[in-house]
């Protein structure tokens, strides 16, 4: 009987958070990215928080909820394409529009990207150093995750962050260069 009361409380907590579903997450995300529109960000975040609460309380999603989530992942796809994260965009698209059965229709990505990407190399280096350190101290572990407290506490994690920041800066410079090159081509024609 107590579990029914707990479930009712969770359901009521979700209803208290009820938010209108944005009908065009891509528009809202573009406003956040280009105009720093904090109202649009809050609008999206409220909807995501509400759906998270519904999922945790095991409440059903209605058609508006499902449509919002689909459009949100499609917006991730567009954002990934625009920002130069083609593989992330491909994953988001597959998640929304894929067959859903990875055994019959697996998504294939070029492994070379992950073998040569500086961020992956830095992450692997940090993980190898962490494993070696754990071996020295004879501490067992089952897996390494970014939220693993011991891994996060090590200085080797900072290498990943610095590589990631320099990678992002480099991509930003490339994108600005391409944008200015396109503008000058248009101006010349």
Q: How many CA atoms lie within 13 A of 87 on its CB side?
A: 8
Q: Using the 8-state DSSP alphabet, how is residue 154 labeled?
A: S
Averaged pLDDT of the chain: 75
CA distance 126 to 109: 24
Q: Where does the pLDDT of residue 147 fall: very low under 50, low under 70, confident under 90, or very high at 90 and above?
A: low
Give the range among 6-15, 65-74, 158-167 with minimum mean pLDDT: 158-167
Give pLDDT tens digits for 15-39. 777 778 888 898 998 888 888 888 8
CA angle 54, 55, 59 (to 5 degrees): 60
Nearest to 28 by CA among 20, 19, 18, 37: 37
CA distance 10 to 16: 10
Q: Where does the pLDDT of residue 1 fall: very low under 50, low under 70, confident under 90, or very high at 90 and above?
A: very low
CA distance 117 to 115: 6
Contact at 8 Å (CB) between 163 and 72? no
Quote the distance between the C-alpha of residue 82 and its chain's center.
15
Asked whether the predicted pLDDT for residue 187 surpasses 70, the reply is no
pLDDT of residue 145: 63
Give the range among 56-70, 71-85, 168-182 with minimum mean pLDDT: 168-182
pLDDT of residue 117: 74
- Compute CA distances 118 → 32, 42, 63, 73, 170, whole Å: 28, 34, 41, 26, 12
pTM exceeding the 0.85 threshold for the entire prediction:
no
pLDDT of residue 154: 63
Nearest to 24 by CA among 40, 1, 11: 40
The domain ranges of the chain are 2-102, 112-188
CA distance 24 to 29: 9
CA distance 43 to 149: 32
pLDDT of residue 68: 92
pLDDT of residue 63: 92
pLDDT of residue 188: 60
Give pLDDT tens digits for 65-120. 999 998 998 888 888 888 777 777 887 788 777 765 567 777 777 777 777 777 77
> Angle, to 10 degrees, between the axis of helix 118-137 and the axis of helix 156-188?
180
């Amino acid at each position: 009987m107590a579990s029914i009361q707990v479930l009712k409380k969770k359901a009521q907590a979700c209803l208290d958070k009820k938010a209108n579903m944005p009908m065009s997450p891509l528009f809202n995300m573009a406003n956040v990215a280009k105009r720093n529109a904090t109202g649009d960000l809050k609008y999206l975040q409220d909807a995501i928080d509400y759906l998270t609460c519904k999922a945790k309380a095991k409440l059903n999603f209605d058609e508006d909820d499902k449509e919002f989530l689909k459009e949100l992942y499609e917006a991730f796809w567009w954002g990934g394409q625009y920002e130069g994260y083609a593989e992330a965009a491909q994953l988001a698209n597959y998640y929304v529009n894929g067959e859903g059965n990875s055994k019959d229709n697996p998504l294939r990505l070029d492994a070379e990207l992950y073998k040569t990407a500086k961020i992956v190399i830095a992450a692997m280096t940090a993980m190898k150093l962490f494993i070696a350190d754990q071996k020295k101290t004879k501490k067992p572990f089952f897996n390494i995750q970014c939220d693993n407290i011991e891994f996060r506490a090590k200085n080797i994690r900072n290498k990943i962050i610095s590589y990631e920041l320099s990678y992002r800066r480099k991509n930003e410079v490339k994108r600005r260069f391409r944008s200015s090159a396109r503008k000058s081509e248009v101006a010349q024609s």
